């Protein structure tokens, strides 16, 4: 019997029973499990590549051009990778198939010129035409402009001020450093050093970008306009503050500058310890290298060497392929071993792997060794709480996060560890820490508690759309699922507060916004999983409305997909090419809502089985611009930065098919009993 014939034998649901053979699903689960184990590192962990846009390689070229460092051959390979990602209209985007992005395009254009690509090159001609039609260099965000300033392509007095004095504000002060998101802290503290020191490297005229200024560079003044309709507003307050800061810079009225720089330097050096670079994320690490050099650290200083080494570890050399006959080089934004390992163990545990399988135990022991026992930035707001939890990366002691910690706890519940006392201690510490991190509105954010002062979005340099870390329903949904796994119920007032937060955040159409995954499918999946696990009634209207929304947005081929475009236009929520990860999320959402009868469920399971590769894997890519790129289903900063978790397409379909089989078996047993 051919595979096509087998795939047509999925049953039509009747009375909740699926009485045709489930062989296809079982075989798919087996193949997927073996494939996932084939990706396990000998040390026990999983770590899938995080694919991203062209920004990282453009910034890589910028860094080494500014500091006159780096390997020229690697920079050439980075340029090749960047130019491959250019769109037909000349622009660069922030996700495959998305519209051009002005900051991205200007950044890539300037990087190409730094590498010697001529302005009359056809590729740059198209990029220039697109950029000028979309506002030119002055339309870029602050981070892009700051980098351009360092290379003489923009003027420091025409960008929002990022004064290092912000590190001097006491922790009790309303506008202190710990009221902005942890990742913004990691990016902005070294950037403030760059702003204070104002590094400048003059490039040859042919490498400049004066041609990207609409009306000429002389017109590139500060573009911060007062809100004249509402004169007394936070926006106007911060614009006035910014102008005062610029005036102080111009007249050298900076009495606290020396102290601020010293404090910023020490803050940064402290957070180099016990971590894979500052915050273990690309932009913070890049800014830290520049900051060290601005502060006078030499190329051979141990701090600079270590910072560079950690940064370069994010690079991936790509040998020639059928699509690209020449080698290329790319960067990843960070590593994801704890996250991937916890998800993989959870999926394999759900698939029926023995609870004492040596491969599972090896992975669990690796995770336990990564438990964070050091107080980080979170402790500024969360007093008298013992540290316990996990970060996303290999080492990032200052920044454990609630989402990774919840997923690790879900994974730990899947094994019987001979080192039970060690594991139980870690579990108890982590759950206590998670409850301590619960926000006042009942939800959970990622790195901090009650990081919700919306006024910070009006700060002029806050145009990266990530100044805050508010509670989200996707993390809160996962938290409910985890707590249920450890015996917590709705009798606990903290659980009820979380449920109220989730229900309050539901959209009118029944869906939930996804902050950390694309997008409403992701948010709805995690909420419904959490509500189901904690015992929220499937018949409640909020659950049934959400399930109906999932069914409504199912694609004609039986799968589900959603584009990053839904962050810009919520009216497109649930619209996109079917993908393995998003189909898995939607299928699990329906099953969590108690749907074991609808045709949508069967068609979703069929889609996953039919799209599985022979080796047990799933492909989640598209051909854009003549070469294969991963479809984005992960979110960094909505509207600004997205990334593809390359293992999402493997462990989420496994979870979904396992959940499907378990649900169908249960429905069949109930039918037989009836």
Sign of the Cα pseudo-torsion (623, 629, 634, 638, in order): negative
For residue 269, give both structure tokens.
């050096």
Q: Which helix (H) or strand (E) holds 218?
A: none
| Nearest Cα residue to 209 out of 245, 250, 155 | 155
204: number of Cβ within 10 Å: 9
Q: Are 397 and 275 a contacting pair, CB within 8 Å?
A: yes
Residue 142 in tokens: 């602050």
671, two tokens: 């039918």
Beta 627-630 vs 634-637: how paired, if at all?
unpaired
Torsion of CA 501, 503, 507, 511, to 10 degrees: 110
Tokens, residue 7: 């795939």
Query: What are the percentages of helix, strand and coil residues in the chain, rounded to 5?
Result: 50, 5, 40
The C-alpha atoms of residue 4 and residue 21 are separated, in whole angstroms, by 15
Beta bridge partners of 51: 644
Helices (H), 328-419: 337-350, 358-369, 402-412
Q: How far is CA 644 from CA 464, 631, 633, in A?
A: 19, 7, 6
Question: Residues 6 or more apart from 347 whose CB is under 8 A from it?
Answer: 36, 651, 652, 654, 655, 658
Please give the distance of CA 311 from its chain centroid, rounded to a whole number: 18
Nearest partner of 137 among 218, 211, 204, 87, judged by Cα: 211
| H or E element in which residue 643 lies | strand 641-645
Cα gap 12→109, rounded to integer Å: 54
The answer to whether 404 is a known catalytic residue is no
- Whether 238 and 459 have beta carbons less than 8 Å apart is answered as yes
Supply the DSSP string of 94-105, one letter for each residue: SSTTPPB-HHHH
R_g (Cα) of the chain, nearest Å: 26
Catalytic residue among 403, 448, 469, 596: 403
Burial of 582 (C-beta count, 10 Å sphere; 0-12/13-18/19+): buried
Phi, psi of 415, deg, nearest 5: -130, 155
Q: Which residues pair with 642 in a beta bridge?
A: 635
Q: Which residue has the tokens 């220039």?
A: 128
Contact 542, 567 (CB under 8 A): no
Known catalytic residues? 403
């Amino acid at each position: 019997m051919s595979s096509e014939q087998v795939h047509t034998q999925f049953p039509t649901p009747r009375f909740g029973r699926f009485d045709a053979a489930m062989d296809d699903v079982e075989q798919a689960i087996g193949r997927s499990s073996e494939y996932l184990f084939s990706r396990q590192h000998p040390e026990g962990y999983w770590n899938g590549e995080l694919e991203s846009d062209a920004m990282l390689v453009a910034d890589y070229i910028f860094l080494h051009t500014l500091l006159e460092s780096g390997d020229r051959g690697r920079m050439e390979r980075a340029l090749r990778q960047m130019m491959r990602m250019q769109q037909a209209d000349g622009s660069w985007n922030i996700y495959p198939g998305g519209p051009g992005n002005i900051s991205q395009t200007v950044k890539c254009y300037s990087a190409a010129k730094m590498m010697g690509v001529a302005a009359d090159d056809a590729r740059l001609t198209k990029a220039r035409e697109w950029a000028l039609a979309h506002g030119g260099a002055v339309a870029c965000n602050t981070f892009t402009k700051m980098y351009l300033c360092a290379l003489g392509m923009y003027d420091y007095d025409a960008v929002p001020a990022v004064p290092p004095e912000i590190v001097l504000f006491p922790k009790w002060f309303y506008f202190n450093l710990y009221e902005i998101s942890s990742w913004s802290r990691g990016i902005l503290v070294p950037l403030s050093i760059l702003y204070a020191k104002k590094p400048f490297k003059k490039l040859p005229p042919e490498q400049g970008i004066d041609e990207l200024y609409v009306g000429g560079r002389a017109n590139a003044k500060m573009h911060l306009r007062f809100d004249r309709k509402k004169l007394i507003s936070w926006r106007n307050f911060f614009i006035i503050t910014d102008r005062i800061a610029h005036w102080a810079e111009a007249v050298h009225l900076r009495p606290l500058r020396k102290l601020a720089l010293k404090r910023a330097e020490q803050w940064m050096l402290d957070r180099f310890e016990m971590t894979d670079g500052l915050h273990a994320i690309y932009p913070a690490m890049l800014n830290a290298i520049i900051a060290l050099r601005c502060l006078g650290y030499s190329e051979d200083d141990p701090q600079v060497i270590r910072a560079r080494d950690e940064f370069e570890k994010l690079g991936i050399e790509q040998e020639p392929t059928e699509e690209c006959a020449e080698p290329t080089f790319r960067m990843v934004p960070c590593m994801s071993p704890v996250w991937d390992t916890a998800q993989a163990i959870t999926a394999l545990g759900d698939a029926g792997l023995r609870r004492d399988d040596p491969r599972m135990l090896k992975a669990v022991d690796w995770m336990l060794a990564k438990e964070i026992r050091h107080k980080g930035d979170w402790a500024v707001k969360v007093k008298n709480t013992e540290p316990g939890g996990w970060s996303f990366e290999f080492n990032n002691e200052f920044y454990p996060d609630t989402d990774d910690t919840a997923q690790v706890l879900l994974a730990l519940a899947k094994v019987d560890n001979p080192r039970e006392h060690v594991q139980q201690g870690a579990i108890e510490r982590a759950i206590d820490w998670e409850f301590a991190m619960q926000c006042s509105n009942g939800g959970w954010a990622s790195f901090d508690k009650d990081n919700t002062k919306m006024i910070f979005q009006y700060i002029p340099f806050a145009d990266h759309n990530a100044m805050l870390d508010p509670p989200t329903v996707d993390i809160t949904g996962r938290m409910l699922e985890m707590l249920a796994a450890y015996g917590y119920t709705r009798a606990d007032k903290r659980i009820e507060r979380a449920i109220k937060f989730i229900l309050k955040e539901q959209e009118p159409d029944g869906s939930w916004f996804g902050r950390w995954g694309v997008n409403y499918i992701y948010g709805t999946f995690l909420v419904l999983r959490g509500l189901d696990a904690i015992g929220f009634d499937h018949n409640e209207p909020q659950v049934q409305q959400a399930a109906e929304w999932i069914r409504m947005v199912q694609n004609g081929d039986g799968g589900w997909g959603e584009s990053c475009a839904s962050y810009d236009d919520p009216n497109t929520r649930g619209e996109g090419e079917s993908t393995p990860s998003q189909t898995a999320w939607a299928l699990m959402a329906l099953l969590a809502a108690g749907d074991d009868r609808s045709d949508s469920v069967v068609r979703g399971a069929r889609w996953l089985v039919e799209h599985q590769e022979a080796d047990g894997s799933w492909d989640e890519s598209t051909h854009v611009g003549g070469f294969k790129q991963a479809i984005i289903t992960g979110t960094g900063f909505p509207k600004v930065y997205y990334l593809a978790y390359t293992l999402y397409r493997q462990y989420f379909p496994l979870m979904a098919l396992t959940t499907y089989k378990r649900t169908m078996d249960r429905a069949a047993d109930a039918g037989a009993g009836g």
